[in-house]
Amino acid sequence: MKKIGRFGMLVLILLFIIVIAFLFAQIINFFGIGEQETIAIIPIQGMISLGGEGLLLQNQIVNSETIIEEIQKADSNKNVKGIVFDINSPGGTVVASKELADAIAKVNKPSVALIREVGASGAYWAAASTDKIVANKYSMTGSIGVLGSYLQFSGLMEKYGVTYEQIISGELKDIGNPYAELTDEERNILQRKINIIHQGFLEDIKEKRGLKSLEQIKSGEFYLGSEALELGLVDVLGGKEEAVALVKEMAGIEEEPQLVVYEERESLFDKLNRLSTLTGYSIGLGIGKKLDVEKNFNLVA
Amino acid sequence: MSKKEIKEAEKLIGLKEKRFIFLRRCGAFIIDYLIINIIISLAFKSVISNRADLEGLGFWAAYNSMIADPSFSSLLLAMSISSACLAILYFAIIEFKLKQTLGKIIFKINVKSDAKELSMKQSFLRNLPKALVFIDSGLVLLIDLIYMLFKKKRLFDFLARTDVE
């Protein structure tokens, strides 16, 4: 075949393939594949922490940065018309909870928080940033307070004749160290910090929920769903169906939307890591129990 | 040189030639793959721009962000299947007509059939793994290439009774 003929044939075939490619694209557009109205479901399951993930003593820890990434993905997707935050969390660290709450407040679409078993403290802070909150009548929520605690070993050390040597510049440098009792001054300082955070938390909730007074909620008590409804901390008693229906109504979705869960996909390595963590924990638990039994027998003997 | 030394030298030259062809085949595939991706990015740009916030993002950056978004899984599947069809059309038709794709023309290699003439069926079969790259991320092609390490011929070249030289 002459070179020009071969070249001409090549160009013809390439043009044919380009036409077919555009035809495929038009078919996809015509059938509206990937254009279905969507409600994003974003799970917040476990203790909220900055950078933490996995299991801690069988309690699930969730990374607030990961959730924020999922929120941004859902918010930038033109097909996502609303978001349901599926919450089952006792709370978390202050900064992580606040960052999550701020990220939810910035969402440009209707959002509803669905509180399952627990949506308290930092998790409630995040929930309060949504447009509406749905909870089961027996869900645990509220707990609008701040907790800062640690084990203090000075008594145990004294029992065994262990002393703590303090070499510091600035007398408050090692405030809160677990090897010495808190002085009254140190205790007051820590309490002041806690109070500042608590006040900020309360003000934020008051503004977001439109509450008239903070008197009833400032104790840090947790409330059941039914109690929270009376206090104005939740809007509707119900479950997932009610939450989705609320989002549909707020977003003006008429047809049945697709529900898509936005969560970080676990890689094979992550799955194996989680399995080995669980296995190690179970082995340790078993050995610990066995040793307890041995110890008891020895005591009896 | 003794007969044994001559045979050793010929064997060594043969091996070097095979390695050289392997490198040329890789180069040709890279060029063909780039051409197909350019066609895909031109054709499917409208598909992506209708469905995602593309501001400031190129086609492939937007595509990668869609891969991370679970609501686009049906769209991505449709695009993957379309891309695989385009790839098989590109490789199969061009090799059937010209015995060479554009990449092979540049690297001066040809497809040869064990039979008299290369048929469309042979061309289709030998290029199937390259098309499946767009769906299975290259697993079948990898198996194909691992087979080549031991048998000095791609598995699908063996099945289609073709070779490249």
Q: What's the rounded Cα separation, in Å, for the pair A188 and A182?
A: 10
Give the range among A21-30, A207-216, B65-74, B108-117 with minimum mean pLDDT.
Answer: B65-74
A5 touches chain B (CB under 8 A): no
B93 to A20: CB separation less than 8 angstroms, yes or no? no
Mean pLDDT of A27-53: 89
A151 near A178, Cβ under 8 Å? yes
Q: What is the pLDDT of residue B15?
A: 65
Beta bridge partners of A61: A47, A54
- What is the DSSP secondary structure assignment for residue B29, as one 8-state letter? H
Over the stretch B113-147, which tens digit does the pLDDT of each residue have? 988 889 999 999 999 999 999 987 788 988 998 89
A78 to B86: CB separation less than 8 angstroms, yes or no? no
**Cα three-residue angle B50-B54-B59, rounded to 5 degrees:** 90
A28 to B97: CB separation less than 8 angstroms, yes or no? no
| Residue A138: band (very low, low, confident or very high) from pLDDT cuts 50, 70, 90 | very high
Output the CA–CA distances (angstroms, integers) from residue A134 to A38, A67, A247, B11, in the order listed. 20, 20, 11, 77
Nearest CA in chain A to B76: A34
Q: What's the rounded Cα separation, in Å, for the pair B131 and A13?
A: 17
| Residue A44: band (very low, low, confident or very high) from pLDDT cuts 50, 70, 90 | very high
Residues in chain B with CB shorter than 8 Å from the CB of A14 are 35, 39, 90, 102
Tell me the nearest-neighbour CA distance from B38 into chain A, angstroms: 10
Q: Residue A271: which of A67, A55, A28 has the closest Cα? A: A55
What SS3 string covers A156-199? HHHHCCCCCCCCCCCCCCCCCCCCCCCCHHHHHHHHHHHHHHHH
Q: For chain A, give percent helix, strand, coil, nearest 5.
A: 50, 20, 35
| Residue A269: band (very low, low, confident or very high) from pLDDT cuts 50, 70, 90 | confident
Over the stretch A238-257, which tens digit does the pLDDT of each residue have? 999 999 999 999 999 998 99
What does each of the 165 residues of chain B score in pLDDT, given as a tens digit?
788 887 787 777 666 666 678 889 999 999 999 999 999 999 998 888 777 665 566 777 888 878 888 888 888 899 999 999 999 999 999 999 999 999 999 999 999 998 888 999 999 999 999 999 998 778 898 899 889 888 888 999 999 999 998
Q: Give me the residue from A21, A34, A73 closest to B75, CB to CB.
A: A34
Instruction: Give the largest Cα separation in chain B, rounded.
Output: 72
A21 to B42: CB separation less than 8 angstroms, yes or no? yes
The backbone torsions φ and ψ at residue A129, rounded to the nearest 5 degrees and listed phi first, read: -80, -10
Amino acid occupying residue B100: Q
| Residue A33: band (very low, low, confident or very high) from pLDDT cuts 50, 70, 90 | confident
A16 to B93: CB separation less than 8 angstroms, yes or no? yes
| Residue A300: band (very low, low, confident or very high) from pLDDT cuts 50, 70, 90 | very low
Residues in chain B with CB shorter than 8 Å from the CB of A24 are 43-44, 82, 85-86
Q: What is the pLDDT of residue A11?
A: 92
A9 touches chain B (CB under 8 A): yes
Nearest CA in chain B to A2: B98
Tell me the nearest-neighbour CA distance from B3 into chain A, angstroms: 43
What mean pLDDT value characterizes chain B?
87
Residue A296: other Cβ atoms inside 10 A? 10
| Residue A282: band (very low, low, confident or very high) from pLDDT cuts 50, 70, 90 | confident
Mean pLDDT of A157-182: 89
A34 touches chain B (CB under 8 A): yes
A278 touches chain B (CB under 8 A): no
The dihedral over CA atoms of A276, A277, A278, A284, expressed in degrees to the nearest 10, equals 100
A1 to B98: CB separation less than 8 angstroms, yes or no? yes
Nearest CA in chain A to B90: A17
A29 to B50: CB separation less than 8 angstroms, yes or no? yes
Q: What is the pLDDT of residue B14?
A: 67
A19 touches chain B (CB under 8 A): no
B131 touches chain A (CB under 8 A): no
- Tokens standing for residue A184: 């009254």
Q: Residue B110: which of B97, B120, B121 has the closest Cα? A: B97
Q: What is the pLDDT of residue B52?
A: 62
Q: What's the rounded Cα separation, in Å, for the pair B142 and A238?
A: 51
Residues in chain A with CB shorter than 8 Å from the CB of B85 are 20, 24
A10 touches chain B (CB under 8 A): yes
Number of residues that this document lists for chain A: 301
The backbone torsions φ and ψ at residue A147, rounded to the nearest 5 degrees and listed phi first, read: -120, 130
A111 near A83, Cβ under 8 Å? yes
Tell me the nearest-neighbour CA distance from B148 into chain A, angstroms: 28
Q: What is the pLDDT of residue A301?
A: 42
